[in-house]
Structures are given as C-alpha cells and as structure tokens.
Structure 1
C-alpha cells in the first residue's frame, strides 16, 4: 500500500452502499480496500503502457488481494 493517503469523498445511493458493504464483507474486505483496487485497475486500464508510473505497475504493487 502507498505510504501516504488522501481522502476521497463520494456520494452514493444508500441502497447501493448497503449492498456494496454486504458484498465486501462476504469477501472479508472493507469498502476502502475494494475502492482502492477499483481505482488502481481503472488507472491501469486507461493509461498507455509507457504512461504507467513504476509505483503503479502490477509488479510494484505486489498484487495483494484487496489492495
């Protein structure tokens, strides 16, 4: 995981939030872990190979589940 963190506040429909948290719990993950994983994957999917910084490359992140 990164050494420093920044807060990201999102607005979400309460029903979606509840269902999201239930599914996260089934996988023994918290919502922050899943959101970080989704953001990381989004970045990798939308950057050209030569744009991916070393710290974001799959090899550098260690590919820990949920992180």
Structure 2
C-alpha cells in the first residue's frame, strides 16, 4: 500500500479570511482533508506549497520596500 500523504498542518492555525497563513490550505481543504483520497491530498499539498511561496514572496517584497 502506498504511503499516505502527510498533512501539511504545522499546528499554528492562522486563518486569514479563507486561507491558513501557516500551512497554505483553504478553509475548505482543511475541512475535507480526512476524506480526501491520495491524489486529492497530493494536489492540495502542491497548491498549498505554491500559496505559501507566494505569501513569502509578497512578505519579502513588502519588507524590502520598508
């Protein structure tokens, strides 16, 4: 059996509207995580990582202009 996808939660839940700024998942993705199949989890983790990268880029840009 294939290894399950690790939950991207880092136990620092900080929802900013519909997005957790700690793990990058949406409120809906967090809610549905346990019922997702492996391919859905993989896609969610990839989307969350891309969101976190975008957040980090935005933060770095903002800090550079201060």
Q: Taking structure 2 as the reference length, what is the TM-score of the superposition?
A: 0.33
